[in-house]
Amino acid sequence: MEFNIAVLGGDGIGPEVTDQGVRVLEAVGRAFGHNFNLSYGDIGGISIDKHGIPLIDHTIELLDTNDAVLFGAVGGPKWDAPDAKVRPEQGLLAMRAHMGVFANIRPVKVYPQLAESSVLKPEVIDGVDMVVVRELTGGLYYAEPRGRRETPNGIIAEDTMRYTEGEIERVLRVGFELARGRRKKLTSVDKANVLECSRLWRTVAARLGEEYSDIELEHVLVDACAMQLIQRPASFDVIVSENTFGDILSDEASVLAASMGLLPSASLTGVPVAGQRSGGLYEPIHGTAPDIAGRGIANPTGSILSVAMMVRYSLGLTEEGAAIELAVDRVLGQNARTADIALPGAGHVSTKEMGDLIVAAIEKAG
Ligand code: IPM
Ligand code: MN
């Protein structure tokens, strides 16, 4: 089959890890007989440098005309001044909004091969297998008013958290549906003891909980959830929360998996269905890691596993997605370790070597 994919590497380690994701995609093409037409575009800081703004019309056209989007990361110290007028992150937020991808799905699982690389005790992380569903196009990241202004009493900065019932319901539904295909447990995270938005969130979650009576629903306050993620991580199945809480909790959850460099994500416009075709945005959850950018040592696994999610949820290629995940599993089993997951004193492979090994494992299986 033939597919069109937009590739937006972005900044920092974004392009180098995305390159390996693309190589894995091409390996899948060879092994399973598919053709991927790749169209490259700019986003973020590189786009600011080249065009003055973080998201240009050409890139927006790529979002509109391809079957899926593979994205790296944006941002970096070069564009980070607090008073900067244009920021790389605005490009990412505008892209998410343009695509309408309100459900950001971040699976977190612990590879037994990497138990020793985690900062947490093996018995605590044993059996961790959860999905964080983060609301992605609402809340503090988008609502108005926002901004900074001078007043007689000094400068005021403000952001607004606002959610409609509809925005809450649709992302919670994604969580409930995912839970149905898993261990049937949903943790709805809020701050209902303080925030109005969270009280609406909890009301909607409770109402849906009656509809999804086969799913065990728990409401957990976000601060308690932060603690429980470390204390009893294996007890979580699907976690759903609003944009900012989900951003923070998913970084925390990534620590369970030894390194955030391993973790993929899919941003979708509805419930993911393996085997069907529907647009989506796929990105590793890590950022641009400016400290290691260009050194060829970043872990490309997050991007590669994002490609697995992409072929499964946007291209309808279930078997191919599984083949990529199996290849990652095998390569970790062969003790290949990038710097982020290497044990102290042990050697490590480069970004490209990790890509080579995963490509080879796919070719062998195919
Ligand atoms: C993420 C990132 C982004 C976010 C930044 C780069 C704007 O942290 O994808 O989690 O906060 O959504
Ligand atoms: Mn984040």
| Active site residue ranges | 141, 191, 223, 247, 251
Q: What's the whole-number mean pLDDT along residues 311-322?
A: 97
Residue nearest ligand 1's atom 2 by CA = 287
Q: Tell me the pLDDT tens digit for each residue of 78-135.
A: 999 998 999 999 999 999 999 999 999 999 999 999 988 889 999 999 999 999 999 9
Q: Determine the pLDDT at residue 117.
A: 87
**Ligand 2 centroid, distance to 96 Cα (angstroms):** 14
Closest ligand, as measured to the CA of 265:
1
Give me the torsion for CA of 344, 346, 349, 354, rounded to 10°: -80
What pLDDT is attached to residue 365? 80
Q: Which ligand is nearest to the CA of 288?
A: 1
pLDDT above 90 as % of the chain = 95
Domain ranges of the chain: 1-114+263-366, 119-257
Instruction: Report the pLDDT averaged over residues 194-210.
Output: 98
Q: pLDDT at position 305, please?
A: 98
Going from the Cα of 245 to the center of ligand 2, the distance in angstroms, rounded, reads 10
What tokens were used for 234? 């294996």
List pLDDT tens digits, range 330-346.
999 999 999 999 988 89
Pocket of ligand 1 (CB under 6 A): 75, 89, 92, 247, 285, 287
CATH topology match: 1-114+263-366 vs 119-257 = yes
Per-residue pLDDT reduced to its tens digit, 344-357: 889 999 999 999 99
Mean pLDDT calculated for residue range 310-320 = 97
**Span 30-52, mean pLDDT?**
98
- Please tell me the CATH superfamily of domain 1-114+263-366, with its number: Isopropylmalate Dehydrogenase (3.40.718.10)
Q: What is the mean pLDDT of residues 309-337?
A: 97
Give the pLDDT score at 276.
Answer: 87
* C-alpha 308 to ligand 2 mean position (Å): 20
Instruction: Report the side by side order of strands in the sheet with 129-135.
Output: 35-40, 2-10, 68-73, 281-282, 266-268, 103-109, 129-135, 238-241, 185-190, 216-221
Minimal-distance CA residue to ligand 1 atom 9: 285
> Of all protein residues, whose CA lies closest to atom 5 belonging to ligand 1?
89
Q: What is the mean pLDDT of residues 62-86?
A: 97
Q: Which CATH class is domain 119-257?
A: alpha beta
* pLDDT of the residue at 366: 66
Tell me, rounded to whole angstroms, the distance of Cα 9 from its chain centroid. 14
* Percent of all residues in the chain with a pLDDT value above 70, rounded to a whole number: 100
- Cβ atoms < 10 Å from Cβ of 332: 22
Q: Would you place residue 274 in the very low, low, confident or very high pLDDT band (cuts 50, 70, 90)?
A: confident
Q: What is residue 116's predicted lDDT score, i.e. its pLDDT?
A: 84
What value does the mean pLDDT of the chain take? 97
Averaged pLDDT, 186-194 = 98
